[in-house]
Amino acid sequence: MNPTPSEAWYRSGLWRRAGLGATLGWTLLGADCGGGSGGGQPTAEVPLPALSVERVFPNLDFTNPVALLQAPNDSSRWFAVEQGGRVMVFSNHPAVSTAAVFIDITARVASGGEMGLLGMAFHPAFPANPRVYLNYTNTAAGRVSRISEFTSADAGVTLDPATERVLLVIGQPETNHKGGHLAFGQDGYLYVGMGDGGGGNDQHGAIGNAQLMTTLLGKMLRVDVSPATGYGIPAGNPFAANPACGTTGTGAQSCPEIYASGLRNPWRWSFDRQTGQLWLGDVGQSAREEIDRLALGGNYGWRCFEGTLNSGLVCGSEPNLLAPVADYGRSEGSSVTGGYVYRGQTIAGLAGRYVFGDFVSGRIWHIAGDTQPTAQITGGFASGLNISSFGEGNDGELYVVHYGGQLYRLTGS
């Protein structure tokens, strides 16, 4: 796929040599963050909102929740993914006081730190197609990430643990940097975000894993789950003609599952439901957190760069690294949590803006959908939460998952 003119410009790396970068700042009054390609001011008719959060479903608490989602075309229920190995389901009613177990695979999940049950995705045709996909860490025969398919036998009421069909098994050399999120794109393919395998400085191998195309670590993967056995490789993937690497996570040739590369720990990411654009938060190491817009075949720089900072590490000969759309330093936060492009109706002035936050500082920001590299993020709204994830309702409204166990809705003024 050919890049757009702006993508071609920052793919060339010229922005790095030119020292370009715009500083974007927010105040709690919702001042403009410099948004579009020219950094213009918002229109007087639709000022940018000041964000806030309010607790929802106050009678419910969860254990280390890491994701919140609804099934396709079903707004009557919510699903909360708990890191320890359970998915809980509950009624979409403000006064709901009980949650039921949708699936419990605790016995299979190695949890703690950055390991555990980390992601969930419904088949786009669920429940007519009763399949759901989970991403979890397992240590039964060495530390691995499993991407598995499970099937509902009761029209979507629960998910049967006995139906597990393992699609991908990816070796994990360390306990951190698992990525963990997975989701279906508008193309009908399953996308899986994988961290670099952990440790510090992407330490495994001469150039690390993120720049090594013969491993699935440090990559965004794209696979076709329609075959009855195994999985297929979408014809448009950059290395589609090569043998699959998924059974071990490594191969002799560039892995055909790869969609994009150069990622450190893509913890949370999402597709803009209107445009299909993939937005991603990549957790940094010691200095910078970054936001990327992923393109097919793109290389997003780790371990050559941490955000806009040259790491000084040996990272191979890749000359066409894509710059982050935005990044921020340790004065703003320490672990980015990717969010969503807002497509709801209740927060005036937020439509089309990408909302994201930080797990450690609890700050929440939003930037224009056409923000050009490389915006420097400051300020933000201090939510006071450990933001493990954002959730998007079928109506486009956004929710915030607090790792301490509570759920919140994003609001504005």
Q: What DSSP state is assigned to residue 266?
A: -
From the list 307, 284, 281, the residue with the least C-alpha distance to 293 is: 281
The DSSP code for 324 is P
Four-point Cα dihedral 115, 117, 118, 123, nearest 10 = 150
| Residue among 394, 395, 391, 396 at smallest CA distance from 408 | 391
Owner of token pair 């403000």: 94
Residue 140 DSSP one-character state: B
In the block, which residue shows the tokens 């990525």? Answer: 179
Close Cβ partners of 365 (under 8 Å, ≥ 6 residues apart): 26, 33, 355, 356, 357, 377, 379, 380, 381
Give the chain's domain count: 1
Q: Which residues pair with 399 in a beta bridge?
A: 391, 409
Q: What is the CATH number of the domain that holds 310?
A: 2.120.10.30
What the block records as the tokens of 90 is 């509950």
Per-residue pLDDT, 48: 85
Count, residues in the chain: 413
Paired tokens of 309: 């900072």
Count of CB atoms situated within 10 Å of the CB of 141: 7
pLDDT at 43: 31
Instruction: Decide: helix, strand or coil at residue 18.
Output: helix
Residue pair 33/24 in contact (Cβ under 8 Å)? The answer is yes
**Residue 8, phi then psi, degrees to nearest 5:** -65, -35
**pLDDT recorded at residue 46:** 59
C-alpha–C-alpha distance, residues 134 and 141, integer Å: 19
Tens-level pLDDT at each residue, the chain (413 residues) = 333 333 333 333 433 323 333 333 332 222 234 333 233 333 334 578 899 999 999 999 999 999 999 999 999 999 999 999 999 999 999 999 999 999 999 999 999 999 999 999 999 999 999 999 999 999 999 999 999 999 999 999 999 999 999 999 999 999 999 999 999 999 999 999 999 999 999 999 999 999 999 999 999 999 999 999 999 999 999 999 999 998 889 999 999 999 999 999 999 999 999 999 999 999 999 999 999 999 999 999 999 999 999 999 999 887 789 999 999 999 999 999 999 999 999 999 999 999 999 999 999 999 999 999 999 999 999 999 999 999 999 999 999 999 999 999 999 97
Using alpha carbons, list the distances in angstroms from residue 240 to 104, 183, 184, 190, 352: 35, 20, 19, 15, 33
Nearest to 65 by CA among 28, 90, 36: 90
Question: 184 lies in which domain range?
Answer: 5-412
The 3-class SS string of 38-106 reads: CCCCCCCCCCCCCEEEEEECCCCCCCCEEEEECCCCCCCEEEEEECCCEEEEEECCCCCCCCEEEEECH
In sequence order, the β-bridge partners of residue 366 are 355
Q: Are 338 and 291 in contact (CB under 8 A)?
A: yes
The angle formed by the CA atoms of residues 53, 293 and 83, to the nearest 5 degrees, is: 50
* Closest to 369 measured CA to CA, from 335, 399, 343, 391: 343
Residue 344 CB-density burial (10 A; 0-12 exposed, 13-18 middle, 19+ buried): middle
**CA dist list (Å): 173 to 166, 194, 202, 260, 276:** 20, 13, 11, 21, 33
Which residues, 6 or more positions from 151, have their beta carbon under 8 angstroms from its beta carbon? 130, 131, 132, 159, 160, 163
Is pTM beyond 0.85 here? yes
Determine contact, residues 117/150, Cβ cutoff 8 Å: no
- Reported as half-sphere exposure (CB side, CA atoms, 13 A), residue 1 has a value of 14
Q: For residue 2, what pLDDT is reported?
A: 36
